[in-house]
Amino acid sequence: MKIAIVDYGAGNIRSVERGLAFVGTPGTMTGDPGEIEAADAIVLPGVGAFEACMRQVAPLQKVLTERIEAGVPFLGICLGMQMLYQESEEGGLIKGLGVVPGRVTRFNGRLKVPHMGWNSLSVKKEHPLLKDVAEGSYVYFVHSYRAGVDGSTVAATEYGGEFTAIAANDAGNAVGTQFHPEKSGTVGLRMLKNFTAMI
């Protein structure tokens, strides 16, 4: 089983690598399109600004979207989830991978950003990522932009109003978490284990 952790030169992806290794399915960090194409599953971490990360991901965009369309399990984490959307307001109006419909917007100006801390999950629909994860489980967030709740929302949480915590494409093979499962204790590790079970 080969899991490609997409290394596009942004963000701290070592914690994702350690989390996957802990649940017994190590991933390989790579920015090589051939390795990503040959992988059984793909993880796209993300820390930083949307515009800069999309620019760095651009050389890999074709292979990423093709593998998603082929049904390969795909997990986007934090900014990696936001990049699944059609567009984001961060840095202007920047196009994402377009796998999930909708736009990522900044939190209301009255709120302290980044939103940082533990929030509980409100499950909106069933998904393999949430197998044996209880309603109301707490996970760790750190972000300044979010996606609204819509038909792509698998689970939501609240900070100045409800927003998407987990999103998925219509086929369900591409899923994103706004929070960091690799930093969310046993609940997050359960989700990483569930993701590997999707392969």
Where in the sequence numbering do the catalytic residues fall?
78, 180, 182
What's the CA gap between 59 and 63, in Å, rounded? Answer: 9
How far apart are the C-alpha atoms of 157 and 146, rounded to whole Å? 11
DSSP type of residue 196 = H
Cα(122)–Cα(63) distance, rounded to whole angstroms? 33
Residue 106: count of CB within 10 angstroms of its CB = 14
**Which pLDDT value is given to residue 11?**
64
Could you tell me the CATH superfamily of domain 3-197?
Class I glutamine amidotransferase (GATase) domain (3.40.50.880)
Contacts of 77 (CB under 8 A, 6+ apart): 16, 43, 44, 45, 46, 176, 177, 180, 181, 182
Q: What are φ and ψ of residue 81, in 5° steps?
A: -70, -45
* C-alpha to C-alpha distances, 53 to 7, 43, 174, 186, nearest whole angstrom: 11, 15, 19, 29
For the CA atoms of 154, 157, 159, 163, the dihedral, rounded to the nearest 10 degrees, stands at: 10
Alpha-carbon span 121 to 4, nearest angstrom? 27
CA distance 151 to 98: 15
- pLDDT per residue, tens digit, the chain (199 aa), is 899 999 988 666 889 999 999 999 999 999 999 999 999 999 999 888 999 999 999 999 999 999 999 999 999 999 999 999 999 999 889 999 999 999 999 998 899 999 999 999 999 999 999 999 999 999 999 999 999 999 999 999 999 999 999 999 999 999 999 999 999 999 999 999 999 999 9
